[in-house]
């Protein structure tokens, strides 16, 4: 699992990239509390919320970030790239 703060992603909240094609999103903007998180699955054509709750605006911006980083996320999840390489490929929105 790798966590990324707003300064790195451009999102208003912390996100965690988990194995298995999942992105955990802090449900409270600016916070870093993994216990208060929602889970999105990065699937095509649109990432879907599968656990927890996010406002429609937050869900849309996280989906935009996932879409912008699809290739890097897939490479990371497949084990084709490590965390260091993943970080260099991330696109800030």
Flag whether pLDDT at 32 surpasses 80.
Answer: no
pLDDT tens-digit series, residues 50-80: 888 889 999 999 999 999 999 999 999 999 9
Task: Give the pLDDT score at 65.
Answer: 94
> Domain locations in the chain?
2-86
Q: Mention every residue, 6+ apart, whose C-beta is less than 8 A from residue 90.
A: 4, 8, 9, 69, 72
Model confidence band, residue 46 (pLDDT cutoffs 50, 70, 90): confident
**Terminal Cα-to-Cα distance of the chain (whole angstroms):** 21
Mean pLDDT of the chain: 87
> 79: part of which helix (H) or strand (E)?
none
Flag whether pLDDT at 20 surpasses 90.
Answer: no
Global pTM exceeds 0.75: yes
């Amino acid at each position: 699992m790798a966590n990324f703060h707003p300064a790195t992603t451009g999102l208003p909240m912390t996100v965690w990239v988990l194995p298995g094609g999942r992105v955990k999103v802090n449900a409270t903007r600016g916070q870093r509390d993994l216990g208060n998180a929602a889970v999105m699955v990065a699937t095509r054509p649109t990432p879907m919320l599968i656990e927890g709750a996010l406002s429609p605006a937050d869900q849309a911006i996280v989906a935009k970030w996932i879409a912008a980083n699809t290739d890097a996320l897939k490479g990371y999840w497949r084990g084709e790239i490590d965390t260091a390489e993943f970080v260099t490929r991330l696109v800030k929105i």
